[in-house]
Amino acid sequence: RKEVEQDPGPFNVPEGATVAFNCTYSNSASQSFFWYRQDCRKEPKLLMSVYSSGNEDGRFTAQLNRASQYISLLIRDSKLSDSATYLCVVNIVGRRALTFGSGTRLQVQP
């Protein structure tokens, strides 16, 4: 079983829609969490960190549920430019590198 699991998608949504992705993690020693965005044939880039109380950055909202061991990303008012793969990333205590999920692909259509 993978330590970080994501639905690979693709999620096909119209412009202006609200879309949400979930990510589950299996290691209860996971300590910090991030969402990264990766455009086709480009490097992953940090989208936002995920805080215990949840946090928002413009149209993006991240939530953490430690009891159920999942994090979520909500995108409101989707734009064409939001089309990308979204990577769920977890810091597991004792590990020197972050653990990356395989990503969820989002395609926003006109």
Residues of the shown chain interacting with other proteins in the complex, contacts defined by CB under 8 A: 31-32, 34, 41-46, 49, 87, 91, 95-98, 100-103
- Nearest distance in Å: CB 75, other proteins: 20
Task: Look up residue 98 and give its two tokens.
Answer: 């972050």
- Spatial CB neighbours of 75, under 8 Å, sequence gap ≥ 6: 18, 19, 20, 59, 60, 82, 106
- Nearest distance in Å: CB 60, other proteins: 15
CA count, 13 A, side-chain hemisphere, 23: 32
Closer Cβ to other proteins, 78 or 86, answer by number: 86
- Nearest distance in Å: CB 82, other proteins: 19
Closer Cβ to other proteins, 40 or 110, answer by number: 40
Closer Cβ to other proteins, 1 or 41, answer by number: 41
Task: Report the Cα–Cα distance between both ends of the chain, in Å, rounded.
Answer: 37
Closer Cβ to other proteins, 1 or 96, answer by number: 96
Kindly report whether the peptide bond that precedes residue 10 is cis, defined as omega within 30 degrees of 0.
yes
